[in-house]
Amino acid sequence: MEMENSEIKSPTYDISKFRLKRILNNNSVRKSISLLGTFPDLSETDEAIVVFEKNAYQESDISTEAASKESPAKPSYFSAELKVNTEFINNIYGSFQVVPSLDLCAVKSTVIYPATDKHVEKYSICQKYLIRETPDLYESTTLPYINESQFSLEWVYNILEHKKETERIVFEDKDPETGFILLPDLKWDGRNVENLYLLGIVHKHDIKSIRDLNGSHLPLLRNIRQSAKDEISKRYGLNPNQLRMYFHYQPSFYHLHVHINPIRNDAPGIWCEKSHMLDTVISNLELLPDYYQRATLPFVLYEGNKLLDLYEEKLTVRSVAAPISESKEREEEPAVESAVDVFSDDDPEERECKRIRLATPDPKEAEATAQVCA
Q: What is the pLDDT of residues 119-171, one digit of tens each?
A: 887 888 777 899 999 999 999 999 999 998 877 899 999 999 999 899 999 99
Mean pLDDT of 205-216: 97
pLDDT tens for each residue of 22-51: 999 888 777 889 999 999 999 999 999 999
Q: What are the residues facing 108 on neighbouring strands?
A: 53
- 228/263 same-domain check: yes
Q: Which residue has the higher pLDDT, 192 or 273?
A: 273
Is it the case that residue 1 has pLDDT exceeding 50?
Answer: no
Q: Is 217 annotated as ligand-binding?
A: no
Question: Are 133 and 219 contained in the same domain?
Answer: yes
For residue 70, the model assigns a pLDDT of 65
Contact between 162 and 181 under an 8 Å Cβ cutoff? The reply is: no
Domain total of the chain? 2
Could you tell me the CATH number of the domain that includes residue 274? 3.30.428.10
> Is 51 domain-assigned?
yes
Whether 356 is in a domain gets the answer no
Residue 245 lies in a domain: yes
Any known ligand binding at 256?
yes
Q: Residue 192 domain-assigned?
A: yes
Is 257 a residue of the active site?
A: yes
Residues 92 and 229 in one domain: no
Say yes or no: 157 and 284 in one domain: yes
Domain final position from 262, 282, 315: 315
Among 6-10, 176-180, 236-240, which stretch is predicted with the lowest mean pLDDT?
A: 6-10
Same domain, 221 and 296: yes
CB 48 within 8 A of CB 13: yes
In this structure, the answer to whether residues 113 and 180 fall within a common structural domain is: no
CATH number at residue 87: 3.30.200.40
Rounded Cα distance between 307 and 121, Å, is 12
pLDDT for the residue 124:
82
Residue 257 is labelled as binding a ligand: yes
Regarding whether 90 and 23 lie in a shared domain, the answer is yes
Q: Among 62-71, 174-183, 209-218, whose mean pLDDT is lowest?
A: 62-71
**289 shares its domain with 145:** yes
Listed residue (52, 49, 82) closest to 64, CA to CA: 82
Per-residue pLDDT of 247-257, as tens digits, reads 999 998 999 99
Position 90 scores a pLDDT of: 79
Within this chain, do residues 135 and 106 fall inside the same structural domain, yes or no?
no
Query: Own/partner pairs for 346-350, CB < 8 Å, 24+ apart?
Result: none
| 324-368 pLDDT, tens digit each | 454 444 455 444 443 334 334 444 455 555 545 444 445 455 455
d(CA 72, CA 60): 13
Nearest alpha-carbon partner for 342 in 320, 315, 359 = 320
Higher pLDDT residue, 61 or 214? 214
Kindly name the residue from 119, 203, 257, 276 that is annotated as catalytic: 257
255 annotated to a ligand binding site? yes
| 253 in any annotated domain | yes
Mean local confidence (pLDDT), 164-179: 94
Neighbours of 122 (CB within 10 A): 18
Residue 333 lies in a domain: no
Residues 199 and 116 in one domain: no
**Residue 150 assigned as binding residue:** no
Give me the pLDDT at residue 73, please: 67
Structural domain that includes position 37: 15-63+70-122
- End-of-domain residue from the set 292, 315, 338: 315
What does the pLDDT look like over 104-119, one tens digit per residue? 888 889 999 999 988 8
> What is the pTM for the complete model shown?
0.61
Same domain for 155 and 224, yes or no, is: yes
pLDDT tens for each residue of 67-103: 555 666 677 888 888 899 898 787 888 888 888 888 7
Q: Is residue 177 part of a domain?
A: yes
Judgement on whether residues 146 and 19 belong to the same structural domain of the protein = no
Q: Of the candidates 217, 194, 186, which has an alpha carbon nearest to the alpha carbon of residue 204? A: 217
Does 248 appear as a known binding residue?
yes
Number of residues that make up the chain:
374
Of the candidates 269, 290, 315, which is a domain's last residue?
A: 315
Instruction: For residue 10, tell me if it sits in a domain.
Output: no
Question: Model confidence over 285-335: pLDDT tens digits?
Answer: 999 999 999 999 999 998 878 899 999 998 888 876 555 454 444 455 444
More confident: 55 or 366: 55
